[in-house]
Amino acid sequence: MHLSIWTYPWDIQDQGIDNFASEVGSRAGVNTVSLATSYHAGRFFQPRSPKQKAYFPEDGTVYFRPDVTMWQGKEILPLTAQNVIDRGDMLEGLTSARESTGLKVSCWTVCLHNTRLGMMHPEHVTRNAFGNANYYNLCPSSPAARDYAITLVRDVTTHYKPDMLELESPNFMGFAHEYHHEKDGVGLNDEDDFLLSICFCRHCMERAKKAGVPAEDARETTAKFIAETCDRTVPQKQFPNFPQAGIDAFRDYPGLHAYLAWRTEPVTSLVGEIKAAADPATRIVLIDLKDGWQGGVDLEAVGRVCDGAILCCYDMKPADIADVIRNGREQLGPDKFLAVGLRVFYPEVSEPSILAERAKAAVDAGADGANFYNYGLIPAGRLDWIRAACAAMA
């Protein structure tokens, strides 16, 4: 069974590989480490580190040493984190130590969520119906952004040969995604956030038009809805069956509905091209959420072009987790990899039995295992909770 824990390079550097491997293997009971290989900015409270209680990672950097020959002539280039230069290549350390640690290695790889690169290449980010840039999200329709994600995975899998690589954000992102000091005095609801997240950049517009989709009609309709939201004194739902109905919540607007149906194409094809370029020895899986359709993910279609998915079910009851996993298994089919993502944060998980019940519900519904979030962000005592959850899944 796949049992993994997400972590960052500095977590392992602070503990040392041997101590880390002992903790996650013997104490937490996992058999895989999912290491951040490409990541974004943040502010992390680090209870495990003896020195770095607050940590601010560099924005939009990679935690490995890129092969410069693979990146020659590319428009968008990766930046190696200073952490790698100063403290060493933990991906190399983990992959080289697989036999001694007994831990498989998975690369947790953020693809298109990259504010640093978005600011450097604004012509390749998603844009709302008014043409305003979302600098944190490179667009999956942009040829240069696609080339960046494909080359990133090809580089990692070719030179490090991890057992698995997890694709985070190879898709469209929501409008509200913890940028920096976000301000919203209107009180945007879920459907407002979704409408603001629909991309109408020139790459999407051109790609959709070539597919025969009425892109301009969709943009005008979306802009009208956003403008109406801005004019209301207080927020009001416009689509009562959103998000439960998926894109069919917008069926009364044929142009927009057609655009939303098309929106899965750049995401599915990107994942397929990533998989085709990766070293065949590495399994390629998607990290996704319950309502992945909002980011343009068609899980059934994605499952046909990669090896499976990890569905994050944070702060959900066991019955709801079972529904998500059961639906995911139905879409992916019986032979594809499927794991659940579980967060070990307080207060959403206040005792070990809660985590164990969620893990068991996922496996009973068809999951092949679990990823637990996150080694360096939780107290050492919660590693015991993870072990109990692993035992419940056996």
Tokens, residue 151:
């080359």
The whole-angstrom separation of Cα 59 and Cα 38 is 10
**CATH no., domain 2-172+265-393:** 3.20.20.80
pTM: 0.97
User: Between the CA of residue 84 and those of 96, 121, 209, what are the distances in Å?
Assistant: 16, 24, 43
SS3 203: helix
Tokens, residue 212:
């025969």
Helix (H) or strand (E) holding 115: helix 115-120
Segments in the chain below pLDDT 70: 177-179
SS3 390: helix
3 - beta bridge partners? 370
Residues 74 and 151: beta-carbon distance below 8 Å: yes
Q: Could you state, in order of their start, the residue ranges of all structural domains in the chain?
A: 2-172+265-393, 174-262
Q: Give residue 178's pLDDT.
A: 59
Q: Which amino acid is at 16?
A: G
- Which residue, 48, 25, 97, is CA-closest to 390? 25
Q: Give residue 285's pLDDT.
A: 99
Residues 172 and 291: beta-carbon distance below 8 Å: no
User: Between the CA of residue 201 and those of 21, 174, 206, what are the distances in Å?
Assistant: 45, 15, 9
